[in-house]
């Protein structure tokens, strides 16, 4: 990337950063849910990937299925990749609804994220 392109990019970013922010009907609820999600992910990461005893099925020289991995992670209280993807999709829907001013759609998406995240 040339110096002129870099300067144009920096100037555009600076100009956009001075625009007033738009707070949709449930922006605050989205921020609160994101904080809960981040706390849960941090707790999972801090646990350091707890281990469970090896099952007899694990010694049969077969590859684990995504379902068996998710079930094992669920028993440990960790968030599976599928769960994280589902939560991320719900948060994306919530943000899109918020930008569109659709409060009920936003609230529904946040409820879906909370249900998937669990207590």
Percent of the chain topping pLDDT 70 = 55
Q: Is the pLDDT of residue 19 over 50?
A: no
CA–chain centroid gap for 103, Å, is 20
- pTM to 2 decimal places: 0.59
Give the pLDDT of residue 44.
72
**pLDDT tens digit string along 28-59?**
999 999 999 888 878 777 766 555 566 666 67
Rounded distance between C-alpha atoms, residue 107 and residue 112, angstroms: 9
Please give the tally of structural domains in the chain.
1
The domain of 114 spans 79-119
Rounded distance between C-alpha atoms, residue 32 and residue 45, angstroms: 20
Is residue 22 very low, low, confident or very high in pLDDT (cuts 50, 70, 90)?
Answer: low
Give the pLDDT of residue 105.
95
Q: What is the dihedral of CA 103, 104, 108, 113, to 10 degrees?
A: 10
Rounded distance between C-alpha atoms, residue 26 and residue 28, angstroms: 5
Average pLDDT of 74-85? 70
Q: Within a domain: residue 104?
A: yes
Q: Within a domain: residue 103?
A: yes
Closest CA to 113 of 58, 49, 54, 35: 35
Rounded distance between C-alpha atoms, residue 113 and residue 41, angstroms: 14
Q: Is the pLDDT of residue 11 over 70?
A: no
Q: Is the pLDDT of residue 3 over 70?
A: no
Q: How far is CA 59 from CA 18, 48, 52, 68, 118, in A?
A: 59, 24, 14, 14, 32
Q: Which helix (H) or strand (E) holds 60?
A: none
Give the pLDDT of residue 77.
56
């Amino acid at each position: 990337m040339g110096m002129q392109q870099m300067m144009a990019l920096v100037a555009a970013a600076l100009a956009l950063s001075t625009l007033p922010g738009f707070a949709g009907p449930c922006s605050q609820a989205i921020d609160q849910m994101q904080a809960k999600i981040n706390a849960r992910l941090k707790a999972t990461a801090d646990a350091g990937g707890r281990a469970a005893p090896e099952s007899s099925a694990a010694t049969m020289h077969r590859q684990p299925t995504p379902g068996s991995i998710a079930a094992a992670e669920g028993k440990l209280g960790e968030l599976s990749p599928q769960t994280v993807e589902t939560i991320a999709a719900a948060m994306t829907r919530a943000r899109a609804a918020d930008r569109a001013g659709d409060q009920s759609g936003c609230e529904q998406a946040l409820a879906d994220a909370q249900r998937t995240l669990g207590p």
